């Protein structure tokens, strides 16, 4: 056991000169050696290691740096106690460039380094960190990058699927371990994937789907098609149960949907001006819809508060809470600037992505502000993982997704993605069941 961050000091002091000679393949001048502290690019610690977290596991992969004189590698890990331990008592062969740490525990932040061995000398990579967890985290991208499967700590992009297709919204059937992705571009469809990314994707053909919600209680998928002014309810296998046409006078456009069960589907509708909207509550067995009587400006997102009501983000600068009795409560003027998304935390509170303020804001059922997490410039989407109390925030303009500890407000991980990630959804527990 050694104390982080300088377990290499005695070895480096003993063998640095040998490394300088042994690494001739790195270049003709001493300071092109990546393990030379005077190297202006990497300062003696090359960023050659990648750590990918999963459930109770971290997969490591590294670059050989084209150093022909290497004799092998050793893997070091430091848990939160800041004590570094050697994971490979016997050095790995010089041809091995991967290692799976299957002794990692969920929720623990680990730091790793690779020691490059050169006979009696060695050098270390720059450290990387990973936090294993049970979540299978997915991100939608309307700029044409399909869907991305992220690591549970939000530090790496594990894989991409359906590249070339814009995806606008996601829903997860945790019981069936399925992901639903709304892909509106022709041919429009709801893409269905296993939440661990295995198997072959299938499609439910639909024209222009832009928002989706899955009800575990009813085993029904509800899909909104903004440009088509239509909402469709589908059975588990894809059979149409019901359709709602909102192309009346004035024409209304489904911005978001949230289905609790067969007695309650919330639908946020805007008009062509984006300055006047409605909140509907639909019952599958009823002919008509209940309408919230309160004035709404530009509704863009809804989150069901199971058994009580729902929250609605209004981009005119407010969050509205609608009870199941259709009584509305509105946040105070000036508390929020430009709400773009809402997510319930399961305890009667709601997190709001306030794009205008660059913040995540916690509100209660009275729409009173309880906490703020900032700065998060450009935040658009927010999703809450109730298992680990992690917030997932998207910043599409920067191509960034950030995972944040909801209790402390501290970042857990951040990843840059090609495209414009807009919405995260997760299968929060099934990463450990495979």
The enclosing H or E element of 151 equals none
Query: Does pLDDT of 11 surpass 60?
Result: no
d(C-alpha 274, C-alpha 351), whole Å: 23
Separation CA 325–CA 292 (nearest Å): 9
Q: Which of 94, 127, 128, 119 is nearest to 20 (CA)?
A: 119
Q: How far apart are CA 224 and CA 258, in angstroms?
A: 10
What pLDDT was estimated at residue 403?
98
Which of these, 300, 210, 216, 309, lies nearest to 264 by C-alpha position? Answer: 309
CB-hemisphere CA count at 13 Å for 100? 5
Joined together, the tokens standing for residue 92 give: 């790995």
Secondary-structure class of domain 2-130 per CATH = mainly beta
The domain ranges of the chain are: 2-130, 136-432
User: In a 3-state reduction of DSSP, which class is residue 362?
Assistant: strand
Say how far residue 358 (Cα) sits from the centre of its chain: 18
Whole-model pTM: value is 0.89
> Which CATH number, 2.40.30.10, 1.25.10.10, 3.40.190.10, 2.130.10.10, labels domain 136-432?
2.130.10.10
CA 206 to each of CA 151, 180, 184, 185, 384: distance values in angstroms, whole numbers, following the listed order: 30, 13, 8, 10, 28
| 386/410 Cα distance (integer angstroms) | 17
For the chain, give percent helix, strand, coil, nearest 5.
5, 45, 50
Reported as a single tens digit per residue, the pLDDT across 193-252 is 999 999 999 999 999 999 999 999 999 999 999 999 999 999 987 899 999 999 988 999
Per-residue pLDDT tens digits for 89-116: 999 999 999 999 999 999 999 999 999 9
Residue 25 in this model has a pLDDT that exceeds 60: no
Tally of CB atoms within 10 A around 327: 12
Task: Please give the share of the chain, as a percent, with pLDDT higher than 70.
Answer: 92
Task: Tell me the Cα Rg of the chain.
Answer: 25
Are the beta carbons of 301 and 355 closer than 8 angstroms?
A: no
Q: How far apart are CA 247 and CA 227, in angstroms?
A: 10
Q: Let me know if the fold of 2-130 is the same as that of 136-432.
A: no
């Amino acid at each position: 056991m050694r104390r982080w961050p300088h377990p290499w000091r005695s070895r480096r002091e003993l063998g640095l000169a040998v490394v300088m000679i042994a690494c001739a393949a790195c270049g003709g001048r001493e300071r092109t050696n990546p393990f030379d502290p005077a190297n202006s690019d990497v300062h003696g610690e090359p960023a050659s290691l990648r750590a990918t977290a999963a459930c109770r596991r971290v997969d490591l992969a590294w670059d050989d740096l084209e150093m022909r004189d290497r004799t092998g590698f050793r893997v070091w890990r430091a848990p939160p106690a800041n004590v570094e331990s050697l994971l490979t008592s016997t050095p790995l062969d010089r041809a091995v460039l991967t290692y799976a740490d299957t002794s990692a525990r969920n929720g623990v932040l680990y730091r790793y380094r690779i020691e490059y061995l050169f006979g009696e000398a060695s050098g270390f990579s720059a450290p990387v960190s990973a936090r294993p967890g049970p979540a299978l985290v997915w991100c939608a991208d309307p700029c044409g990058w399909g869907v991305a499967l992220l690591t549970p700590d939000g530090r790496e992009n594990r894989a991409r699927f359906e590249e070339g297709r814009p995806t606008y919204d996601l829903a997860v059937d945790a019981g069936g371990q399925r992901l639903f992705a709304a892909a509106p571009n022709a041919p429009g469809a709801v893409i269905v994937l296993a939440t661990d990314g295995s198997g072959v994707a299938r499609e439910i053909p639909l024209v222009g789907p832009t928002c989706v919600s899955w009800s575990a209680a009813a085993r029904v998928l509800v899909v909104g098609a903004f440009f088509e002014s239509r909402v469709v309810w589908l059975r588990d296998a894809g059979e149409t149960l019901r359709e709602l046409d909102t192309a009346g006078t004035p024409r209304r456009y489904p911005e978001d949907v949230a289905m609790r069960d067969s007695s309650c589907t919330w639908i946020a509708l805007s008009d062509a001006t984006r300055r006047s909207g409605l909140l509907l509550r639909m019952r599958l067995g009823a002919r008509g819809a209940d309408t919230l009587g309160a004035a709404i400006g530009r509704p863009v997102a809804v989150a069901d508060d199971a058994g009580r009501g729902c929250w609605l983000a209004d981009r005119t600068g407010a969050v509205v809470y609608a009870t199941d009795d259709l009584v509305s409560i509105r946040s105070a003027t000036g508390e929020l600037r430009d709400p773009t998304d809402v997510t319930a935390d399961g305890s009667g509170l709601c997190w709001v992505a306030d794009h205008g303020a660059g913040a995540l804001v916690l509100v209660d059922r009275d729409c009173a502000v309880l906490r703020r997490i900032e700065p998060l410039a450009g935040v658009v989407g927010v999703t809450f993982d109730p298992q680990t109390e992690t917030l997932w925030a998207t910043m599409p303009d920067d191509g960034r997704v950030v995972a944040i500890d909801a209790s402390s407000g501290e970042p857990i991980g951040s990843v840059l993605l090609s495209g414009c990630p807009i919405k995260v959804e997760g299968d929060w527990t099934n990463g450990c069941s495979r």
